[in-house]
Amino acid sequence: MTRMKVNDVLGSLGLGILAILVVVAIFAPQIAPYDPHHTYKRMERPSSEHLLGTNDIGNDILSEVIYGTRVSLFIAFMVSITAITIGTSLGLIAGYSGGVAEFMIMRIVDIFLTIPRLVLIIVIAAFMPRSIWNLIAVFIIFGWVMTARIVRSEVLTLRNQYYVESARMLGGSNLYILWRHILPNVIPLVVVQFIMEAGHVIVAEAGLSFLGLGDPVARSWGTTFHYAFECPTLYTSDVWMWWMLPPGLCIVATVLGFTFVGYALEERLNPKLKTVVGMEI
Amino acid sequence: MRISDLKTNFPTPDGIVRAVDTIDLSIRDTETFGLIGETGCGKTVLGLTIMRLLHPAATMEGEIIYKGKNLLEASEAEMRTIRGREIAIILQNPTTSLNPVMRVGEQIAEAIRLHQGLNKKDAAAKAVEMLDAVRIPSPSQRANEYPHEFSGGMKQRVMIAMGLACNPSFIIADEPTKGLDVTIKAQIVELMKEMTERKAMLLITHDLSVARELCDRIALMYAGELVEYAPLKGIFESPLHPYTRGFLGSLPERGLVPIPGMSPSLIDFPDGCRFHPRCEHATEVCRREHPELVEFNAGHFVRCHHARS
Amino acid sequence: MLEVEGLTKQFSSGIMKKRNVSAVDCVSFHIKKGKTLGLVGESGCGKTTIGRLILRLVEPTSGKVVFDGIDLLSLKRSELRKIRPRMQMIFQDPDSSLNPRLKIGTSIAEPLRLHGTVPKDERAQKIMELVETVGLNPEHVNRYPYQLSGGQNQRVVLARILALNPDLIIADEPTSSLDVSVQAQILNLMRDLQKKFNHTYLFISHDLEVVKIMSDQIAVMYLGKLVEVGETTDVYNNAKHPYTQALLSSRRILLKGETPGPADIPTGCRFHPRCPQKQDKCAIEEPEPVEVEKGHYVACHLV
């Protein structure tokens, strides 16, 4: 009972965080006090004019962080939607068809799973022109794998459920059975995967951008981080407090938001994790 | 063993489940007492209540007197010495009740060492002896195998061996033949008959044919309470309660006459007699008043306003 | 209506050493229209596989299945899909026979929608009709399977099958997960429906008492083979095979040992290691079915 309640509180908290971030991302031009690319006086301390001061080339940091929300979330959602769609489709095909298709897909999955993901992403990203689309592409290449695997194993159990066999007996085609009887039953899993993947991408993107592999034009939180870090006086003065801390906190908050929602959903959707008082009577 | 006024409740989000509701019965020293009921009537909970193996949230009221001691008031430490040694339970579904990564012999020996203070070697020898007693061929070799190497019937034999390993005087057997094939079931029933001859046993089952082979007295449970209990003959030859008659009548060999409707949930019982919505003889008084369990003939108790022979 | 001849299914097992395991071995029987054949056997004897082979949910290795004059095994996938609605199957677990995310009404409507036999505006009425036929309440239509009991869900399964008006129904242990009082309700319903719609049943069960009351003919199966086939009354009153006799003895004849797995089938008569009446010949030679009286076949050296 209490576990369920804690779960609900966390879930709503996560949802709240994400809602605020999405609103900020959508209405960035209205919320941000300045154009993030416009230059003002350099290295200003926070004042009523620039709430978080300005950076080494004179951009307003608050505006940069607000626009950064847009970039970070955009990448996260684009990657998650595409990767999860690909992963779900391949998982469905592998689990349902069996045979050669399954063998091929699962071997590819195995290969991807054994490769250290972040290292390879860094290597690939380093050789590609720095653009937000390239980043998205790299993340998608690695993002679908887990979903494909999870969906496939679920489909393997669903495929042998009597209601799937009944549907075949009723004369339903394979496509019909997949769409009507199998997909709806894997959707809860897929939703959780989607949330988890989005949180994951936020961190990975911040990491890459921090290394300087992000898009210098569309600055995400990680990119802001990167430029702050390159500033020689970052730690000798208190400038990190308004330059480095805000984007860092944003990253932490977003990841927590996704994680809370993910856990709450998983608990909700997975009956095995529900705490039940009593036992078989 | 004497059970009086026993009530077991579980709190759930949907309401309080009254799984066992005011049960009185006594089981004599060497008799086999059959508790018959359908899914969700509370029969398994009764067995677990006696063993005090329920979820901590469950509340229990009443008395279970065993050898002069009220088990409901016994401490957890006392219960541990009673479980297995004095009262043993043979669970349904041996597939999940046996530890898959432990040799079968060790699992039996574990119980023996716990209660009889034997050393490892003696306990292992005793375990082999028990496997032999339940007619497992080449027992010393089988003792070193893992549960997955045993068939369903063999696993059930292992469960019986485990239950009887410490020579308990009271046995609770919960659906010991569930899921077994006809010919294997016959073997297990035969084995149980032999092994429990001089012990008291509470046999919990929905299978009347098994109860008929093994039991001296039978009680029928419906919606958490006993509706009728009597010696074997009384139940089969002159059942008094309409539920008992309906239950017997719905057996294929007795004409497959169903009882209409379905059992109530243990959260929300009908007023009056709990069986009245499904009873063809129900009258006004059945809807209004909850009947008491009364002795109709010597040793034959029934809970019905209209009991007649 | 249904003729099965020499139906065989072999599975290959083992990774290193491939070997064939026959789950169903040369099974033959036939069922007349409107009649019921009860197929009895213990778990693992292959009775469930037979049901699936007939419907080609599993492809047979060899043999012949003729349904209403059509040779099912020669049909192409697309032709098979067209004929499938005429043959339906009831599974043993009613709760997993229905998609948990679909309302009862939607599940019952599924065959109507798939085949478009009933115009859209008449569907709701047709569903109500079906619901009533199987003894459910109209309000059940808006519930989900988990809100209904096992017995009620099995009624839903029946309603859905009736929507297709099939000729042949294969019922695989349809009541083995139900309580006796509910089992009686479902079996009675099935008998009533058979009378009303002239269904042909293949009734698969391990419970001899149930099969006796449901069937016109009985086939007893042991380790992938039929050991005795005949009219119900003949088999029950005059059982010839020692295995059938043991099953029918209601525990008076105790068989030794257990059924071996399909991977190590005994030589000669498959039943001989457990047979109380075995002779030397039984371990060597496999008995052929012999007709002991009209329509009553037994595969045993003793007859």
pLDDT band (50, 70, 90) for residue A3: low
As given in the structure block, the two tokens for residue C165 are 């008006």
Q: What residues of chain C lie within 8 A of the CB of A172, using their CB?
A: 110, 114
Q: pLDDT tens, C99-145?
A: 988 999 999 999 988 887 788 888 999 999 999 999 999 989 999 99
Residue with more model confidence, C219 or A279:
C219
Which residues neighbour B144 within 8 Å (Cβ) at sequence distance 6 or greater? Answer: B103, B104, B105
Tens digits of per-residue pLDDT, B123-176?
A: 999 999 999 988 888 899 999 999 888 888 888 889 989 888 888 889 999 988
Please state, in angstroms and rounded to a whole number, the distance separating the CA atoms of residues C169 and C161. Answer: 9
pLDDT recorded at residue A4 = 67
Q: What is the mean pLDDT of residues B15-37?
A: 89
Asked whether residue B177 falls in the same domain as residue B263, the answer is yes
| Residues B219, B297 within the same domain | yes
Same domain, B72 and B181: yes
A101 half-sphere exposure, CB direction, 13 A CA radius: 12
Q: φ, ψ for residue C244 (rounded to 5)? A: -60, -45
CA distance C223 to C267: 12
Tell me the pLDDT of chain C averaged across its residues: 89
d(CA A139, CA A136): 5
Q: What is the SS3 assignment for C172? A: strand
For residues A22 and A72, the answer to whether their CB atoms sit within 8 Å is: no
Q: Where does residue B13 rank: exposed (0-12), middle (13-18), buried (19+ CB within 10 A)? A: exposed
What is the C-alpha to C-alpha distance for residues C220 and B66, in angstroms, rounded to an integer?
48
> Are B77 and B220 members of one domain?
yes
Span A113-140, average pLDDT = 86
pLDDT of residue A273 exceeding 60: no
The H or E element that residue C221 is part of is strand C217-222
pLDDT band at B113 (very low <50, low <70, confident <90, very high): confident
The answer, yes or no, to whether residue B227 has pLDDT greater than 80, is yes
pLDDT at C14: 58
Dump pLDDT digits (tens) for B238-252: 999 999 999 999 988
Total length of chain A: 281
Q: Output A180 or A277, whichever has higher pLDDT.
A: A180
Q: Any chain A CB within 8 A of the CB of C3? A: no
Q: Are residues B151 and B284 in the same domain?
A: no
Which bin fits C127, alpha (ψ -120 to 50), beta or left (φ > 0)? alpha
Model pLDDT, residue C257: 81
Residue B53 belongs to domain with CATH number: 3.40.50.300
What is the C-alpha separation between A47 and A44, in angstroms, rounded? Answer: 8
Portion 239-268 of B in contact with A at CB < 8 A? 266
Close Cβ partners of B305 (under 8 Å, ≥ 6 residues apart): B273, B283, B285, B286, B289, B291
Query: Where do the structural domains in chain C lie, given as residue ranges?
Result: 2-94+168-215
Cα B162 to Cα C230: distance, rounded to the nearest angstrom: 44
pLDDT at residue A178, as a whole number: 93
Per-residue pLDDT at C15? 57
Residue pair A19/A261 in contact (Cβ under 8 Å)? The answer is no
- Give the torsion sign (CA, A11, A13, A15, A17): negative
Least CA distance to C114: which residue of chain A?
A172
CB pairs under 8 A between B and C: 81
- Site of tokens 């099965």: C4
pLDDT digits (tens, 9 = 90+) for B38-57: 888 888 889 889 988 888 88
Q: Over the Cα atoms of chain A, what is R_g?
A: 23
B15 and B56 together in one domain: yes
The chain C residue lying nearest B206, using CA atoms, is C179
Q: Is the pLDDT of residue A232 over 80?
A: no
Return mean pLDDT, chain A.
85
Average pLDDT of chain B is 88
Q: Is the dihedral of CA B219, B222, B225, B227 positive or negative?
A: negative
- Chain B residues touching C251 at Cβ < 8 A: 185-186, 189-190, 209, 213
**B10 touching A (Cβ < 8 Å):** yes
Distance from CA of A122 to the nearest CA of C (A): 41
CB atoms within 10 A of CB B307: 17
Q: Is A2 on the interface with B (CB under 8 A)?
A: no
B111 and B172 assigned to the same domain:
no
The burial of B158, by beta-carbon neighbours within 10 Å (0-12 exposed, 13-18 middle, 19 or more buried), is given as buried
Least CB–CB distance from A281: residue in B13, B40, B57 = B40
Please judge whether C251 and B186 are an interchain contact, meaning their C-beta atoms are less than 8 angstroms apart: yes
Domains of chain A: 2-273 (1.10.3720.10)
Q: How many C-beta atoms surround the C-beta of residue C181 within 10 A? A: 24
Considering the domain architecture, whether residues B80 and B31 belong to the same structural domain is answered as: yes
| pLDDT tens, position by position, C273-297 | 999 888 888 988 889 999 999 999 9
Predicted ipTM > 0.95: no
Q: A176 and C111: CB-CB below 8 Å?
A: no
Q: How far apart are CA C107 and CA A262, in angstroms?
A: 31
Q: Is the pLDDT of residue A92 over 50?
A: yes
CATH architecture assignment, domain C2-94+168-215: 3-Layer(aba) Sandwich (3.40)
In angstroms, what is the C-alpha Rg of chain C?
A: 20
Q: B125 and B173 share a domain?
A: no
Interchain CB contact of A271 with C (< 8 Å): no
Domain boundary among B167, B202, B230: B167
Residue A276 pLDDT class (50, 70, 90 cuts): very low
Give residue-wise pLDDT tens across range C218-262: 999 999 999 999 999 999 999 999 999 998 887 667 888 888 877
Radius of gyration of the CA atoms of chain B, in A? 20
Domain stops at, among B111, B141, B167? B167
Per residue in B192-223, pLDDT (tens digit) is 998 888 889 999 998 888 999 899 999 999 99
Are both B78 and B131 inside the same structural domain? no
B186 and B245 assigned to the same domain: yes
The Cα C169–Cα C214 span in angstroms is 13
The answer to whether residue A181 neighbours chain C at the CB level (below 8 Å) is: yes
Nearest to B187 among C180, C208, C254 (CB): C254
Q: Are residues B69 and B216 in the same domain?
A: yes
Alpha-carbon separation of residue A26 from A29, A67, B45, C215, C258 (angstroms): 8, 9, 57, 69, 70
To the nearest whole percent, how much of chain C has pLDDT over 70? 97
* Residue A221 vs residues A68, A104, A171, B198: alpha-carbon distances, Å: 5, 38, 53, 78
Residue B175 touches chain C, beta carbons under 8 Å: no
**Ramachandran sector of residue C251 (left: φ over 0; alpha: ψ -120 to 50; beta: rest):** left
- Tell whether the model's pLDDT for residue A35 goes beyond 90: no
Q: What total of structural domains would you count in chain B?
A: 2
Burial of B268 (0-12, 13-18, 19+ CB in 10 A): exposed
Tell me which chain C residues have a C-beta less than 8 angstroms from the C-beta of B187.
Answer: 254-255
| Gap between the Cα atoms of B279 and B271, Å rounded | 13
Task: Name the residue range of residue B145's domain.
Answer: 94-167
**8 A C-beta contact, residue C159 and residue C108:** yes
Is a pLDDT exceeding 50 seen at residue A236?
yes
| The pLDDT value given to residue B39 | 84
Asked if residue B308 is part of any domain, the answer here is no
DSSP-derived secondary structure letter, A54: B
Q: Stretch A15-25: mean pLDDT, rounded? A: 92
Q: Does C260 touch chain A (CB under 8 A)?
A: no
Nearest to B186 by CA among A170, A232, C274, C128: C274
Q: Please tell me the predicted confidence (pLDDT) of residue A29.
A: 87
pLDDT score for C167? 94
